[in-house]
Amino acid sequence: MNIQPKHTEPLILSGRDVTAVLGPTNTGKTHLAIERMVAHESGIIGLPLRLLAREVYARVCEKVGAHKVALITGEEKIQPSGARYSVCTVEAMPRETDAAFVAIDEVQLAGDLERGHIFTDRILHLRGRQETLLLGAATMHGILQRLLRGVSVVTRPRLSHLAYAGSKKLTRLPRRTAIVAFSADEVYAIAELIRRQQGGAAVVLGALSPRTRNAQVALFQSGDVDYLIATDAIGMGLNLDLDHVAFAQNRKFDGFQYRNLTAAELGQIAGRAGRHLRDGTFGVTGQVDPLDEDLVQKIEIMAFDLLDQILVQR
């Protein structure tokens, strides 16, 4: 009996009809995906957050009508019988589909310790019949070209300028600021301080119910309050009317250990300041040491890959 393992050829993954649209925040990637999806007869878009899925669902409904759009997340399911388009969290995307179009947002989460295997599976195997878009950070450029033979890569520049504003006390932060922390206790403590000093604040946490999260975002977007206290979830594609992002913490628990945020992670969050052609700023609060010059440069020019490679080569 031959018990030697059978030799198999390595799996060759095709990137044919796959386009990777890569770039920093505020480059219009999600808007592009929505426009491309509704140009097809059917489509699926996978997003990293339930809150973002809800936002994109509303935008697609405005374009084609709610009777044609499904929303599928771990918390909500809206599935009209005649739905042609599905807006999902990436975990809720089907393993196979006959849809003409597929888009996967924030593909750099393939490197996440807890969720990366889900994103990797969808990136490698889920395809639209006619078109597939992979959206994410420029840090994915090289690995996507290596994994998907023939993939087309398009890079998009940021539409506005991002500048470092240094350190400010919580009570001296400008209006239209998001204050970022990484524990529920810290988020609520900051929110209470801001409410006492400034009169109002919205809170966005993953633990909130969909209705509460949506209501809190609407409270900030409408201008009823000028401060948003949130976790790093705001870095994942949410379209918020922010002028400034302030880090009240720069360490987080990643599911395995407490660690400092990487330059790319800081940039993903800071880049939410400034929308479209309006410039934005970022900084830290008194609880966090000022960012060093090299880190600030990486964030301002959104060139993490290039600068990191130069540092490694040295």
pTM of the model: 0.81
Amino acid 28: pLDDT: 87
Composition of the chain by helix, strand, coil, percent to 5:
35, 25, 40
Amino acid 237: pLDDT: 66
- Return the CATH superfamily for domain 18-155: P-loop containing nucleotide triphosphate hydrolases (3.40.50.300)
- Distances in Å between the Cα of 26 and the Cα atoms of 44, 125, 270 are 22, 28, 11
Amino acid 107: pLDDT: 96
Domains 18-155 and 162-313 share a fold: yes
Q: How far apart are CA 135 and CA 288, in angstroms?
A: 31
Please give the structure tokens belonging to residue 186. 């810290």
- The structural domains of the chain, with segments of one domain joined by +, span 18-155, 162-313
Residue found under tokens 């700023």: 281
Amino acid 211: pLDDT: 84
Q: Indicate the class that CATH gives domain 162-313.
A: alpha beta
For the chain (314 residues), the mean pLDDT of every run of 10, in chain order, is 44 77 89 97 96 93 97 93 96 95 95 91 95 94 91 90 94 94 94 91 86 89 94 78 95 86 90 86 93 92 55 32
Amino acid 305: pLDDT: 54
Contact 50, 92 (CB under 8 A): no
